[in-house]
Structure 1
Amino acid sequence: MSQHREVDAIVVELPGPGRWLVQNSPARRVPSHGTELFGTRYAIDLVGVDDRGRSAAPSLRALVASEPPERFVGFGRMLLAPIAGEVLVVHDGEPDHEARRSPFTLLPYALGQAARVRAGVVAIAGNHLIIGRPDGRCVALVHLRRGSIRVQPGDRVEAGAPVAECGNSGNSTEPHVHLQAADRVDMASARGLPFVFRRFRERARDGTWVERHLAVPGEGSLVEPA
């Protein structure tokens, strides 16, 4: 088993229907996002894609300019609670900014990363919510669509309950959901914790789909609910 099947890893559900492209997977490296900041040590990114594995249809604009987030398959896709628990934190109101696939737009955005880190949690996470477990550990859904969050602090949710929509707020170059587990709700001081998905289907290298249990999907793989 990989190092991510650590003892007492949090078991989560895939946080939405449809097909997802896996990016920044802790199955490839830890820290998965290249940093320990904001509790992201084991975080994973899931980009909504179509049946052909595309996050958006090809376009000439994508080669040279930013694009409206509405062009992307994942934007507005319903997100589901990955665990059962109490909603501890909800932050909404941040804009869903333009998406970037072109190197001409990605480079200046990357140069602004340090400034976003200095600006703190909201500049990185954008719209987000955090669900807590009785043992004090918690799971966050990040980069949510503005105005889409359906829950409030104090609400109790079951795993699989609709809670928000996928967006492009915060530190995000295209619509996707960032999922992470941590030892506390304060992202500024949180320590990232490992987690595994209870059950999902993953496309193997030969193009066939295999069902996996209590695992973390690989970098660049396609996954969908089992």
Structure 2
Amino acid sequence: MNLNTNPKPRILLHLICMVTIVGTLTACTRNAQDPPTNIASSSHTTSSSIVDDVKPFQPEELPDLLLQGKNETVHQQFNTQFKQQVSLKDMEQLSAFHEGVQSYTLKSTMKLSGSTNYIWTDEQVKKGIQAVFDPEGRISGLLLVPLETFPETDVKKTDTTFALPFHGEWFTFWGGTNVLVNYHYEHPSQRYAYDFVQQKDGSSYQGDATKLSSYYAFGQPILASAPGKVVELKNQITDNEPVGTMNEKEPAGNYVVIDHGNGEYSIYAHLQKGSVKVKVGDQVQAGDILGLCGNSGNSSEPHLHFQVSNGVNLFESKSIRIQFENNADYIQGTTIKAP
């Protein structure tokens, strides 16, 4: 979830193309003029079998092949529709993107709707590669993008130590310190926010994808992550159903804001309508139930948006990187097993 009222893809200089990933979380900010995420989309691609006389390369080999200029090898493993969209000549024109890069490091792997999404960055986290491999090993999407980082704020974590805001097993859909692994990162107000879902076998739901009851996260208890005072909340926003519709007028949906007394405010957004159990002025302890995970606001499916800011107002404050217990760090693709 990025609190954008209308997230729209944009194409950068070194962007090839990117498939739409079914299940990608989109969500919330107040300002429609906020810069959109650095991902362009095409329609979902269909796979085809890899040619029998060509040995396919493994996903982990892709960055080295690109660095070596073996564009024909890479292009040969595009699936049929992606080959029609991106020619070998297009690939060759992008070779200059890798100038100055010695190697790329894998940062995130995430299974989505049968395909697998991979993200690599260079040593300086100045350039990134995102690739989607379909179930047959074909490349159905590829993105090369320059990355902007904010090292001064990346290293500054909260004074408060936070526990996880839930029990059980959850999945980090967005989280980390570059825009490829964390859709929020380019927005100062949400730079270090997380989006958490629950998954089983790589899917966040079972059954009818349009129904809230199909989603594992929907209705799960959301907990206070540290002691503090409830200073703001909302509880009357209807959850979006059918799933996929979003409420841009109420970006955060139902939410709770807790003041931890040191200029740090934890925010829990997209809660289920009517589920908030605390009142403004209540003192809470870590582990107290605040409400239930929902799909209210500018949310594309049930999930928890969790962040810490330096002020009460989510949209006018700046996000602070969270100091979790045991110095834990959660990046996109991380499965969390909370007590």
| TM-score exceeds 0.5 | yes
Measured in 2, the distance between the counterparts of 1:194 and 1:75 equals 26
Q: Which amino acid aligns with 2:315?
A: A
State the partner residue of 2:164: 14
State the partner residue of 2:86: none
Q: Which amino acid aligns with 1:36?
A: H
Q: Which amino acid aligns with 1:171?
A: N
Measured in 1, the distance between the counterparts of 2:321 and 2:159 equals 5
On the 8 A contact 1:144/1:166 being kept in 2, the answer is yes
Measured in 2, the distance between the counterparts of 1:8 and 1:176 equals 23
Q: Which moved more, 1:148-157 or 1:187-196?
A: 187-196
Paired residue for 1:41, among 191, 199, 221? 191
Paired residue for 2:257, among 112, 130, 133? 130
State the partner residue of 1:55: 204
Measured in 1, the distance between the counterparts of 2:176 and 2:241 equals 27
Taking a change above 3 Å as real, the CA distance of residues 140 and 80 of structure 1, as seen in their structure-2 partners, is: same
Q: Which amino acid aligns with 1:16?
A: F
On the 8 A contact 2:157/2:323 being kept in 1, the answer is no
State the partner residue of 1:141: 268
Measured in 1, the distance between the counterparts of 2:157 and 2:235 equals 34
Consecutive unaligned residues in structure 2, runs of 5 or more: 1-150
Measured in 2, the distance between the counterparts of 1:217 and 1:131 equals 21
Paired residue for 2:215, among 42, 65, 72? 72
Measured in 1, the distance between the counterparts of 2:168 and 2:328 equals 19
Q: Which amino acid aligns with 1:54?
A: S
Measured in 2, the distance between the counterparts of 1:99 and 1:177 equals 18
Query: Which of the two has higher C-alpha Rg?
Result: 2
State the partner residue of 2:230: 87
Taking a change above 3 Å as real, the CA distance of residues 93 and 35 of structure 1, as seen in their structure-2 partners, is: farther
Q: Which amino acid aligns with 1:56?
A: Y
User: After superposition, where does 1:1-226 map in structure 2 within 5 Å?
Assistant: 4-8=154-158, 10-29=160-179, 32-36=183-187, 39-50=189-200, 52-57=201-206, 59=207, 61-62=208-209, 67-98=210-241, 100=243, 116=248, 119=249, 123-198=250-325, 213-226=326-339
CA RMSD between the two structures:
2.4
Taking a change above 3 Å as real, the CA distance of residues 99 and 24 of structure 1, as seen in their structure-2 partners, is: farther
How does the TM-score come out when normalised to structure 1? 0.74
Cα shift at 1:221: 1.8
On the 8 A contact 1:53/1:222 being kept in 2, the answer is no
Cα shift at 1:6: 2.7
RCO comparison, higher one (Cα < 8 Å, 6+): 1
Q: Which amino acid aligns with 1:196?
A: Q
> SS of 2:170's equivalent?
strand
On the 8 A contact 1:99/1:168 being kept in 2, the answer is no
Percent identity between matched residues is: 28
Taking a change above 3 Å as real, the CA distance of residues 32 and 11 of structure 1, as seen in their structure-2 partners, is: farther
Measured in 1, the distance between the counterparts of 2:338 and 2:202 equals 15
Q: Which amino acid aligns with 2:288?
A: A
On the 8 A contact 2:194/2:305 being kept in 1, the answer is yes
On the 8 A contact 1:99/1:175 being kept in 2, the answer is no
On the 8 A contact 2:157/2:321 being kept in 1, the answer is no
Taking a change above 3 Å as real, the CA distance of residues 134 and 9 of structure 1, as seen in their structure-2 partners, is: closer
> SS of 1:79's equivalent?
strand
How many pairs does the alignment contain?
A: 187
State the partner residue of 1:203: none
Measured in 1, the distance between the counterparts of 2:196 and 2:288 equals 18
How does the TM-score come out when normalised to structure 2? 0.51
Measured in 1, the distance between the counterparts of 2:269 and 2:232 equals 11
Taking a change above 3 Å as real, the CA distance of residues 178 and 99 of structure 1, as seen in their structure-2 partners, is: farther
